[in-house]
């Protein structure tokens, strides 16, 4: 199984690269990679775009593959489709995580993988108190549906247009990503407690 971390955006709403924001003693990219280093993930791929050199410089794990997005400025949809096409020859399930979701833990990934093992032909989608969000586990047979993904859209339109192949895994944790200055303050206070 391939674990993909999308960390290519420019973070225009927050005014600084999200991947480099410190929470406690680690940056968001370091925290996300720590979660992806689960025993059921065989390969970790980080997709970079904006601030790629700065982010690359703090990725210490030699085992992490770095993929540079050529289309990151066009939005997450382009970055995602570019990544899916690049990974297609491997024909493996892909578990996609976003760098700005500090509430995601290994247990969430584990639940998606266990659900995938029981139902390998379905896309597994996380639901945090009813909010659908990555991490998302995509079997190889459905990855081509994302090859032409475009613009600044995430996964929402995907599961709305393909509900028959999707399965939602519910979690009790609240969904709160890191998109704004207020979110940054909230998470920094959370980690400093």
Pairing label, strands 26-27, 22-23: antiparallel
Check the CA dihedral 162-104-9-39 and report its sign. negative
Nearest to 64 by CA among 83, 93, 92, 41: 41
For residue 4, the model assigns a pLDDT of 97
For residue 154, the model assigns a pLDDT of 80
Along the 193 residues of the chain, how does pLDDT read in single tens digits? 999 999 988 776 777 788 899 898 899 999 999 999 999 999 999 999 888 888 888 887 778 999 999 888 888 888 999 999 999 999 999 999 999 999 999 999 999 999 999 999 999 999 999 999 999 999 999 999 999 988 777 888 889 999 999 999 999 999 989 988 899 899 988 887 6
The CATH number that applies at residue 31 is 3.90.550.10
Give every CB contact of residue 135 below 8 A, 6+ residues apart in sequence. Answer: 95, 96, 97, 98, 101, 104, 108, 109, 112, 126
Give every CB contact of residue 30 below 8 A, 6+ residues apart in sequence. Answer: 58, 59
Task: Evaluate if pTM is beyond 0.85.
Answer: yes
Residue 172's domain comprises: 2-192
For residue 135, the model assigns a pLDDT of 97
Total count of domains within the chain: 1
């Amino acid at each position: 199984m391939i674990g993909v971390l999308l960390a290519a955006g420019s973070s225009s709403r927050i005014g600084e690269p999200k991947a480099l924001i410190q929470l406690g003693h680690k940056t968001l990219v370091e925290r996300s990679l720590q979660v992806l280093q689960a025993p059921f993930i065989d390969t970790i791929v980080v997709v970079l775009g904006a601030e790629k050199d700065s982010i690359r410089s703090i990725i210490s794990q030699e085992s992490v593959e770095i993929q540079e997005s050529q289309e990151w400025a066009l939005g997450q949809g382009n970055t995602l489709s570019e990544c899916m096409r690049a990974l297609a020859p491997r024909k493996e399930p892909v578990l996609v995580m976003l760098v700005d979701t500090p509430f995601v833990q290994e247990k969430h990934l584990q639940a998606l993988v266990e659900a995938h093992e029981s139902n390998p032909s379905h896309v597994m989608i996380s639901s945090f108190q009813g909010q659908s969000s990555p991490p998302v586990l995509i079997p190889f047979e459905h990855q081509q549906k994302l090859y032409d993904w475009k613009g600044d859209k995430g996964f929402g339109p995907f599961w709305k247009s393909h509900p028959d192949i999707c399965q939602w895994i519910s979690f009790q944790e609240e969904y709160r990503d890191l998109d704004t200055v207020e979110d940054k303050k909230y998470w920094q206070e959370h980690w400093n407690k």
